[in-house]
Chains A and B, each alone.
Chain A
């Protein structure tokens, strides 16, 4: 179903009633599963993903083989590293996640590319050199998709890695940004948009950007649609700003969970923690 983008210029409201720089509702939970080393659940609008982190652990025989044989794709980069932990990312898109049931195999190119993007972004951020001869396995499950899938996956991974207590430089947060008119329209006055849903993604050019913490450092940037170069800068600025908003939200979730754990007595209160709790 094509999206009618002509009405945007009238009220400056998007199809779901948001302004150009509004994020959708972001809801996340951390430590959702007892058995895993780290786990998280994240909703960005109707996109719902779950992440389970296992490790750093001794590499399993099967995983190593998959990694080097190129079957897993994402494991290839870190497959045989001895001096740093390798990162294996598995994305499972559930058949029931989209409106029409569509089964995607493990060898789906799009999924593999997302796996590699996430893995490379993490490899630069995590302090893998602290865990030689080990593997960090990130399993991501897509339960429901409504746009910004890669961004949601990256955000969920960050939360799960924090839950697993794996040292990293800073949060990696991601967000999508698009443009209000399609490439073919060639409209130079098009406004940038933040956090697209499926309908908008199908119609409009968009990119996914991930940044490191509060800085402007870009950790991952994916753009698969055609867009005029002149619009790219505006989209990127909006995207990076969105990432900063997402970071604030994720940070709030982590802090809320942390203070809850201290109150429940799971974690010992230390002087350092007390300071941040009073804020």
Chain B
């Protein structure tokens, strides 16, 4: 998926060693937790329920459009009239909305997601993996599917179409995730006028349509999850890696978080302290560094010393077998050490940490 960077083994080794320093020295001079600036706008397509466009500083750009359709909920128990009437009776007997809440049975399949990347087939393994990864993270908190529930017979089917406009310069996961987050925040569904299990009727006034994720009021609750890309190089952990940094990463992780709003006490004047972060998913991603060719130490480099004519094949065999040498590039092998995983989770979840910063940034985007 991520395009191969054309860096020589010597360049890779240099990058790797400067990134493993403490504090790491990144090619663009950022600190390890600093994000690149991005521009974002929402509500760009009036024909959708919600849309967003995000441009990252490296020039990559994505557009997400959300469309909703009404669908009849397939009854897992079959069309059993008796049973259904019983349900209704018991529900009306209790008479409270709470019983109804409990009965809300949401399914993850109500959210459908596609990713389109120019120049790649739509059934490309990498693209499908990317879409599934994002979908999984969104559904992990179970909140989104519940919001799509209308009544026992009908539900919304949400189509999320993600377009990567620019060529895939670096691994597009964080870009797509942030764009999806914004698009979902901007999504509005028509206001329901009917009650109970009637055929749904909607208010045709778009101005009255409530947001899927309301910002204020009693319904203000969770937020759609975001997925961040984190790489580990040596002992240092880098957020928002650039293409070059990804090319030397020992391991890359997609960390999905969601934000849960604590219920604010009545009359509380606190505005932005109710955020609680929850880790919902984590996946390792194969970094492109694994496919890089190994470097040849100058002691073994016969082209430099010019002594004997050992075939190239044999020479590379040697270097692959040898223990890693300082300053000589060798593609990373193996998984992510537990200590690294642990420190990544710490860094992501800490109060006022990276995720807080990103969410604060996204909060600032105007919803239109």
- Using CB atoms and an 8 Å cutoff, list the residues of chain A in contact with chain B: 33-36, 46, 48, 50, 52, 54, 60, 62-63, 71, 90, 92, 94-101, 103, 105-106, 137, 139, 141, 143-144
Q: Which residues of B contact A63 (CB under 8 A)?
A: 119
Contact of A95 among B60, B119, B161, B165 (CB under 8 A): B161
Residues of B within 8 A of A36 (CB): 59, 166-167
B149-181 contact mask (Cβ, 8 Å, vs A): 1 or 0: 000000000010101011101000000000000
Q: State in angstroms the CA–CA spacing of A94 and B114 once bound together.
A: 10
A62, B121: Cα distance in complex, Å = 11
Judge if B340 is at the interface, Cβ distance under 8 Å.
no
Report whether B119 and A94 are in contact in the complex, using a CB–CB cutoff of 8 Å: no
Whole-angstrom distance from the CB of B49 to the nearest CB of chain A?
A: 9
Is there contact, CB below 8 Å, between A101 and B69? yes
Interface of chain A: mostly helix, strand, loop or mixed: loop
Task: Report if A94-B118 is in contact (Cβ < 8 Å); known contacts: A35-B167, A46-B47, A54-B167.
Answer: no
Q: Known contacts being A35-B169, A36-B167, A143-B63, is A92 close to B121, with CB within 8 Å?
A: no
Interface presence of B65 (CB below 8 A): yes
Residue of B nearest to A140 (CB): B118
Interface status of B356 (Cβ within 8 A of chain A)? no
- The contact of A96 among B58, B121, B122, B161, by CB within 8 Å, is B161
Q: Could you list 12 A-B pairs, sorted by A, with CB under 8 Å? A: A33-B55, A33-B61, A36-B166, A94-B116, A95-B65, A95-B159, A95-B161, A96-B45, A96-B48, A96-B65, A98-B47, A141-B165
Q: Is B67 at the interface (CB under 8 A from chain A)?
A: yes
Residues on A with beta carbons closer than 8 Å to the beta carbon of B67: 95-96, 101
With a CB–CB cut-off of 8 A, which chain A residues contact B51? 96
CA distance in complex: A63, B169 (Å): 16
Q: Known: A101-B69, A141-B163. Is A92-B118 also a contact (CB below 8 A)?
A: yes
Say how far A98's CB is from chain B's closest CB, in angstroms: 8
A142 nearest in chain B by CB position: B163
Instruction: Give B92-107 interface residues, CB cut-off 8 Å to A.
Output: none
Q: In the assembly, what is the distance between CA of A90 and CA of B66, in Å? A: 23
Tell me, rounded to whole Å, the shortest Cβ–Cβ distance linking B44 to chain A.
8
Could you say which residues of chain B place their CB within 8 Å of the CB of A33?
Answer: 55, 59, 61, 165-166
The CA of A240 and the CA of B163, in the complex, are separated in Å by 33
Rounded to whole angstroms, the CA-CA distance of A92 and B164 in the bound complex is 10
14 extra interface residue pairs, beta carbon distance < 8 Å, beyond A54-B167, A105-B122, A139-B165: A33-B166, A35-B58, A36-B59, A48-B45, A52-B165, A60-B119, A62-B119, A96-B45, A96-B47, A96-B51, A96-B159, A97-B65, A143-B65, A144-B47
Min Cβ gap A127→B in Å is 23
Contacts of A96 in B (CB 8 A): 45, 47-48, 51, 65-67, 159, 161
Complex CA–CA separation, A198 to B161 (angstroms): 22
Given contacts A97-B47, A101-B159, A141-B165, contact A35 B59 (CB under 8 A): yes
Which of B51, B58, B61, B119: most chain A CB closer than 10 A?
A: B119
Contact with A along B62-79 (1 / 0, CB 8 A): 010111010000000000
**Alpha-carbon distance A98/B67, docked complex (angstroms):** 10
Cβ-neighbour of B118 out of A71, A90, A100 (below 8 A): A90
Bound state CA distance, A105 and B61, in angstroms? 22
* CB neighbours of B66 from chain A (8 A): 96
Q: How far is the CA of A141 from the CA of B69 in the complex (A)?
A: 23
Q: How far is the CA of A34 from the CA of B116 in the complex (A)?
A: 20
